[in-house]
Amino acid sequence: MKSPDFRMDADDPDWFLLQSFSGEEEILRLLTERAWTLWVAEKDKEYFATSDCPVALLWKRAHSVGVRPGFADRNTHVFFPLTKRLLLYGSCEEEGGLIEASRTQVAVANHVVVSTSDRFVYSPYKSFLEQDGQTERASPGSEYARERMW
C-alpha cells in the first residue's frame, strides 16, 4: 500500500466510514440476543488475562478444523475480559446474571482469550492461571510464543 504503484480514491470520503461500520448494527442485534453473565474473579486470587483480540468467540461443540465461529452462530461462547477481575460471558443457551468465577472458570477463560490472540497477551502480573482440558498451569504474563487456536 505504500508503493507509488498503489492508489485508491473515492469521490465520497464518507463511503469509507460507512463501509467500516456496515456490519455493526447486525452484530449488535446478534449480541443482544445472547444471555450475558458477568464473571467476577475473587479479589487477590485468580484474575483474567487479556490479549490484542479481547473478544473471543468459541464453538460450544466440535466443528471441522478451520471453520471459525461467527456472531450469528448460536452454538458459541463469547468471552470478553473487561478488567483483571471482570469478564463478560455470552451464551444463547444459558441464563445470564452475575457469578463469582471459580478458579477453573478463570483458567479456562484465560486459555480461550489468549489462544485466540493475534500477537500479544496482557496480564497485570508475571504469570496467570490457564487451563487447557484437564491441564492447569501458570503461563507467563508477558509477550511469548503461543500456538494459535485457528
Q: Please tell me which residue, 3 or 97, carries the higher pLDDT value.
A: 97
pLDDT, tens digit (0-9, with 9 covering 90-100), for 17-48: 666 667 777 878 888 888 999 999 998 888 99
> Partners of 37 in the beta sheet?
89, 97
Q: List phi, psi (to 5°) of 69.
A: -75, 155
Three-state secondary-structure class, residue 137:
strand
State the Cα–Cα distance between residues 108 and 136, nearest whole angstrom: 9
Query: What DSSP element (H or E) covers 19?
Result: helix 14-20
Instruction: Give the β-pairing of 56-59 and 76-81.
Output: antiparallel
- Please identify which residue in the block is written with the cell numbers 463511503: 15
How far is residue 142's CA from residue 123's CA, in Å, rounded to a whole number? 7
pTM, rounded to two decimals: 0.74
Asked if 52 contacts 120 with a C-beta cutoff of 8 angstroms, the reply is: yes
What is the structure's pLDDT at 48? 94
Beta-sheet strand order (sheet of 76-81): 56-59, 76-81, 86-91, 35-41, 97-101
- Note the pLDDT tens digit of each residue in 3-12: 677 666 667 7
Q: What is the pLDDT of residue 92?
A: 87
Residue 128 has pLDDT above 90, yes or no: no
pLDDT of 2 > 80? The answer is no
Count of C-beta atoms within a 10 Å radius of residue 63? 13
Residue 53 near residue 117, CB atoms below 8 Å = yes
Question: Cα separation of 15 and 8, whole Å?
Answer: 13
Confidence of residue 122 (pLDDT cuts 50, 70, 90): confident
Confidence at residue 17, expressed as pLDDT on a 0 to 100 scale? 65
